[in-house]
Structure 1
Amino acid sequence: MPDIKTEIPFGRPFIVGKELYYIAKAVENGSLAGDHRFTKQCHAELERRFGSAKALLTHSCTAALEMAAILSGVGPGDEVIMPSFTFVSTANAFVLRGATPVFVDIRRDTLNLDEKLVASAITDRTRAIVPVHYAGVPCEMDELATIAEDNKLWLIEDAAQALQSTWKGRMLGSIGHLGCISFHETKNVISGEGGALLINDERLIERAEIIREKGTNRSQFFRGMVDKYTWVDIGSSYLPSELIAAFLAAQLEHVETITEQRRAAVDFYQTSLTPLAQTGKIGLPAVRLSEAGNGHMFYLFARDLDERMRLLEHLASLEVHAVFHYVPLHSSPAGRRFARTGSPMLVTDEIADCLVRLPLYHGITLEEQQRVVDAVLDFFGG
């Protein structure tokens, strides 16, 4: 009989501890709306872990970014500097406020915002800088923080991929005025959908709570600070249910183990594919992702767009599900409509055509990873 191999998915949701037990406890506790026992437990854990003045769970990192955009006060006519090589939520959050994203090119080594290009993109309309920590690898935060301070700009970290990554000993997401984290099922620690806003500037806490609670002072009411709650500001329903918080609470109890396993998986890919890279047939990350980041992803570079597509088709034929990543926002229909570029996008355009992300998830086995590596080698005649 033929050797039929099971599919290796690009990602896979997982359970590591008491997720189902905590969900049952949330039901037993009698309230599934947000901001009860497990939400508060997650807030406390995130504040401890990041050292942030306040952490607020949201129903997605997109929601956290939207809250950050409101808190920054940007509006029509304002500009916000960010990379084009990012998920659409980074830009959409500010476009929804009427602001214009200004895209700046990325560095070839980290695929992060090129801090050397930021200053020249600043105008008298610039209000914020939004670095994205791609693959959990930190941006050059010292220089970006200096630029932001010198120009009186908000510094908002899109740390969606960066849980447990650090910059000079500080957790990513805790360095800017605000940080945004994702717990989407594709991330290292998951709750299906979910995110968090990290508030590192105490001046923003009170308004953040109001925005998150549909523009009401409901949080103050439950702390006994007001005798009734009412509509006081703009806002929306940004908080998740207790079911999401319960699942997340269990995952956060194992975050170090999850991160260690993913770093080991990333290291396996890098070591196994280095000989092929030395022949010039593929490119590998310029930084060792297991050391520079949190093991969130592993990627390689084909030599051009055509080769990239043929490689993906070859892997799919062997039941290996690999993917490319972002279509650069500056080249998208909405990007051309709502944004502008603040520098030539040479690196962004080049790597976007060549990048391939390999399967990676908690619990991926060495046998599965070896199948992925063998499939890549087979395509290049290795």
Structure 2
Amino acid sequence: MLRTFAILLLGSATITVMPTQKILAGTLTGELPIVIGHRGASGYRPEHTLESYRLAIELGADYIEPDLVSTKDGVLVARHENEISGTTDVANHPEFADRKTTKIIDGQTLTGWFTEDFTLAELKTLRAKERIPNIRPQNTVYNGLFEIPTLQEVIDLAKQKSAELGRTIGIYPETKHPSYFDSIGLSLEEPLVNILKANGYNSQTSPVFIQSFEVSNLQELNTLIDVPLIQLIDSAENKPYDFVLSGDARTYGDLITATGLADIANYADGIGAYKWLIIPRDAQGNLLSPTTLVDDAHAAGLLVHSWTFRRENNFLPANLQNQPEEEFKRYYQTGLDGMFSDNPDIAFAARAAVYGVPEPLTLLGAGTAMAFGAAFKRKLKQK
């Protein structure tokens, strides 16, 4: 696969990384791995709110991640799922009681309220709430305060904070349930491409990655826009849902074989791998030794971003309880090119520890240079 690598430097200074540590970490481009604010700083604020994204940036995130679903009137909004009873106060709105329904989404039967049954104006009357209050009770103090943002509002925030901080903040949208939305006439791909192009995100050096757990929509996007694409990889035994629909027998495990990675490299620039595929755990939940996945993907010319890194013991290995930074560091040492984290501050600190970069990088002010491998030129398309 033919690729070129470019570095985007902002401001007048550069980050100095010790060469021996760069070789040790082994990122694909030799540059710092990126910190991706997973649904914003969702460890500290209700997810997918402008306040969550804003805090993620202030805590050092290089990219913020809006998961995208559609409204009834075709507007892309940031929600992890189109079923919103767990992340909004919709159940407290009697005017929407008759919208509660049961649907089958990617083979799962769900009962609740769905974004595609609401106009944007109606969704804007709702307020976000903490998705996992039993694990993050401190975040419930923000329940009822924040709106559901549109993709355009997320982009506007990223651009505003980029100007304020003197460093580029990228966006990392995920298309959620694209086959389902296609089936109801609310395709995600075209609105996403239109918004990105309207905002100047239309090249391999644009600070954007598009990600998806499905394959066919990434292949379609590869024909519609020239920005970096990331194939998300779930547990090895699971399947992309478009494979389920088409009868394709392959699993995510098949996609990370040498043949599978070579196939991905024909339409995408990297993989977003479930972290246990990179460093697995034993039956007791202890972290084991790394697999060869990072090296295998790099050999295929693919970036490796991994998800999801969180500070709570519920999500940490048994042998690293109360030590989130240690877990994050071990993954960086595999050569990851990026890390999705609910806690961007911890991901930032762990990156600084592994790479010897002075902290706090994000507080150095205007003129700070953030280096990231930005251009991953895909194979020239054959007519």
Q: Same fold (TM over 0.5)?
A: no
Higher helix fraction (1 or 2)? 1
Structure with higher Rg: it is: 1
Question: Relative contact order (C-alpha < 8 Å, sep 6+): which is higher?
Answer: 2
> Shorter-chain TM-score: which interval?
under 0.3
